Structure 1
Amino acid sequence: MLQPLKREESASQRTIVLVLSISLTAFLIGGILGAVAIRGLFASGEHPEATGAKGPGGKPPAAAPKAQLVRAGLIEQKPIVPTRTLVGDLVAVHSTTVPTEVAGKIIEMSVEEGAKVKGGETVLARIDDTWTTLEAERIAAQIAEKKATLNFERSDYVRYMNLLERNAVSQSQATQKQSLMEELQAAVAQLEVMLQETKERKSRLEIRAPFDGTVITKQAELGEYLSIGSEIVEIVSTGRIYAQVMVPEELLPLLEIGDPIALVVDSVNKELQGKVASINAQGSAASRTFPVRIELDDLDGKLLPGMGVSAFVPVTRESTHLLAPRDAVLTKPDESTIWALVPNQKDAAGGTFVAQPIPVRILSHTRSAYAIVCQRDVDRDLVKPGVQVVTEGLERLIPGAIVRVDEDRSQLAPVPGTYRTGQQVIERADALDEK
């Protein structure tokens, strides 16, 4: 009796578990289907409690796309001089090693490396003048002695001439007296020259800077004995400085002495205007380039010899082209593109534009603009003077995008990840993978 009862209880438990499993499964499936249905209603713009006007098919009308905010520039037509960027260095206008012209011991030397000096005023070194002073005094004494003798001989010569008139002396005696006076006069003149030479040598014991500049090296020290020609300091000039660039031979005919040249000094990030100072006739046979020096101001010593410089040298004569701002042109190896702004006909209030990509070819460029021409004849009406083109925000655009021009023309602050020219730094894919 017990075995049949156990079997009946086991069958009853299995039936209950099966019923509960089926019920739970049905409940879960129903919940999932209900959630999917509600999500579909919200996705289609419908709501079970919504009321009001609906579009075709019972759906509300789609919202108008939101206009993207961009900045724009204008296409212009004007004469330009296309340029090429050449890299060079700053070099000093004058550079010299100052020697001593007089031998002696240095008793004063107040300049150090890096010191600023004024031409003709700053004393670089002072040499002991003891022996020069004594020599000048000795020569002055000799001059005084000779002049005293000469004065006596002059008086005696007058007496001889009186005696000669009375035939008391011979003509030869008078002539000898005259020759003696002339000899004394020559000796005095020679001594005076020696005295002047000594004084000049004494004045050169004080060695002054030959021009305005900066001391870059120091070859002598206080107390050191110098022979004639010994080097004291090396100085480079200040005030003016040269930018030297190697110009290809095909560009030399476009340059003349005095031509203005724009430059950028990389280390101080300064844009400057210089002028061609010299064109060296001795170039490099290997590279077919010639040294050209451009004169500019050194900005109160901020520009130093050895600094790197970028010079913008013309590559053709002046010509007239359609110009687009550099930021408006997306340059690619195969094809460049600009985004022209066409008034949005669907915007009754105005203020929005439709962005249209236009393939262009770059003819040349300046520092701020590209000279362009349309690749397709159908686009020529959109690329003409006065047409607005996108300069900022064009990377996010798609053909036919609705945009609004930002009227704020304030200068944008530099952002990390850009080169000096403003071009965005793009990380390589393999570098990103390594991160």
Structure 2
Amino acid sequence: MFTHMGAWFGLIIFMCMSLYLTLTILITEWRTKYRRDMNTRDNEAKSRAVDSLLNFETVKYYNAESYEVNRFNEAIRKYQVSEWKVSASLGLLNQTQNLVIGLGLLAGSLLCAYFVTEHKLQVGDFVLFGTYIIQLYTPLNWFGTYYRMIQTSFIDMENMFELFNEEQEVKDAVNAGDLRLEAGRIEFENVHFSYVEGKEILHDVSFSVMPGQTLALVGPSGSGKSTIIRLLFRFYDVWGGCIRIDGQDISQVKQASLRAHIGVVPQDTVLFNDTISNNIRYGRVSATDEEVQEAARAADIHDRILSFPDGYSTQVGERGLKLSGGEKQRVAIARTILKGPRIILLDEATSALDTETERNIQASLAKVCAHRTSIVVAHRLSTVVGADQILVLKEGRVVERGRHEELLQKGGVYASMWLQQQAGEDGDGKECGTEKAPGSSKGQ
């Protein structure tokens, strides 16, 4: 344009292109904060909805439906405000681009018309200038659109990038090998651990579990019993000391190979919203239907499943809410049986059950733990009287160890806990008897 139509036309086009590109970049960068805020509000609204739906029982227990609806409405309102800001800023960007292009076209057209009146240019040059300007600004429009789309996509992917940058807490060591499980001997040697700095959970804990034996961990809440289970499964790495299985430091073996040999029956069994068959099969996803049913028989739940209208195809609902506590525990036991591990970890697996159900499940657990190394966390001491070794934990330290009879003879912490539980059970029984007496006399 500078060569064929003159310096003024070249200057007008150069100024328009420069201003267009500069304003596009600046406004697009400025609007990123609104897009980022909109994504944050969207995540908050969805998280609030999912959290309320998953915990619908708690919401109904406390008659808080209107409260949750108001919280969700507030989250949606904040999201809509952020979305409006994104749309408004996009409109501002588009209008600014159109204004720059319009001003450039207006200035060039007026200048061209003036030169036509001065007979320096012809009418055809005026048409030629408008055609060239339109063809030139079309790629500029696409540049603005693509730049905005790319910038928006990067903002939308920020959460994914944050996940990529997240450091894995427990990593496999370099050149880590598979765990070679031979007998199943477990050793804790001078283990120290803390979840946060300044508050140590385990202090110099040492013990050994011989192959095929059962170790019971008892003690008050917060003494570190469940932490020992998590460390053995390697959800966390110890801060000091060492944990060995068959003489191999578990921090030097692959996590997948370690966990393949360990089965866990947790206190709170969470089931998938799927069939009973698939929930049991989760212990070994390649298992056949016959193996699933055999595991259910071993867990003493096969007959109960057959009594359901759909049998093994029965849907258990969210987190297994359609099953009773004892049924869920038996499904968890069946999972563990199907997995077939050499080491069993029981984390207060029967603490929330009634006495009769507890006895039945204890019998199922005894079958599972037979000839396997097992560690049991228990609050009810009556469930661990047959353990080969009992560790009494208090404030993260092992204060007593031995068999049930030995610990009772010592008259220490364990004996005190045993007497308190026995007294509590006797008190409950007397109270129940007193309550029932009037009713029985009325019945007579």
TM-score by length of 1: 0.21
Larger gyration radius, structure 1 or structure 2: 1
Say which structure is richer in strand. 1
TM-score by length of 2: 0.21
